[in-house]
Each structure stands twice: as C-alpha cells, then as structure tokens.
Amino acid sequence: MKNLLPDAAAFRLTGRVWVEGATERFLGIGRLELLEHIQATGSISKAAVAMGMSYKRAWDLVQSLNAQAARPLVATQTGGKSGGGTVVTPEGEQALAEFRGIQARFQEFLAEETRRLRE
C-alpha cells in the first residue's frame, strides 16, 4: 500500500468489533466503558455524566445488556439510601474481562496490519 499513498505514515488500519446477538448488538467498546464507569461510581447517572451521555441513553444500554444476557450483568436498586444505585454483577465482571481480552487482541491485529501496509 505504501507506494500508493502520498504519506504512508499518516495512514493506518482502524476499525471496531462487537459481540452481536440474534437481532441486536450485545457488547462493544462503548458498553464496555459504560460498565467500567458504573463499576467505578456505583451509579448509572454518575457514569452517564462521566461519559458525557444522557442518563436515558445509558439506562437504555443497560437494559439492552441485561435483556440479552442469561443473568443480569448489572443490578440496579431504586430508592433507599442515597436514592438507589447500580452495581456490576460477577457475570458483568466476567463479560468485562473477556471483552477486554478481545479488544486487546483486536488492537494488536490492527497494529500488525498497519505495519504491513506501511512496508
């Protein structure tokens, strides 16, 4: 590819991957980061603020996630002390760990292919 490009160093292979269910998306990098923020803050609303997205959007993503999993990846509680909260379940942590692995290997793939297209 190098000889086709005016500045090969400015080009790179990039992309996205996600786990897809029967009909809709299940888990990608966006949802992964959302889970991480929920884990860090214990709240969907705080996670949404941290990521600069609306609470509704974050909540919808959580719904989609839980609806497709055999058991909930996050557990929410409404009302009560400090209004409620949300925690990532052990299942959620496992999904987190597995997708982090996929993501890391994907980044390695992209880096390798970028090297190849520059040589």
Partner DNA sequence: ATGGGTTATGTTTGGGCAAACATAACGGTG
Partner DNA sequence: CACCGTTATGTTTGCCCAAACATAACCCAT
Q: For residues 27 and 48, which CB has a smaller minimum distance to a second copy in the complex? A: 27
Beta bridge partners of residue 27, listed in sequence order = 19
Q: Which of residues 8-67 bind a second copy (CB under 8 A)?
A: 10-22, 26
24 CA to centre of own chain: 15
Closer CB to DNA, 36 or 113, in the complex: 36
**Dist CA 113 CA 119 (whole Å):** 10
Half-sphere exposure of 117 (CA within 13 A, CB side): 16
Orientation angle between helical segments 55-68 and 44-51, nearest 10 degrees: 120
Interface with DNA (CB under 7 A), residue from 8, 13, 36, 55: 55
Q: Which of 86, 95, 111, 119 binds a second copy (CB under 8 A)?
A: 95
* Subset of 60-79 contacting DNA (CB under 7 A): 60, 62-63, 76-79
| Residues forming a β-bridge with 25 | 20
- Apex CA 22: angle with CA 16 and CA 27, to 5°? 35
The contact set with DNA (CB under 7 A) reads: 43-46, 53-57, 59-60, 62-63, 76-86
The contact set with a second copy (CB under 8 A) reads: 1, 3-7, 10-22, 26, 68-71, 73, 91, 94-95, 98, 102, 105-106, 109-110, 113, 117
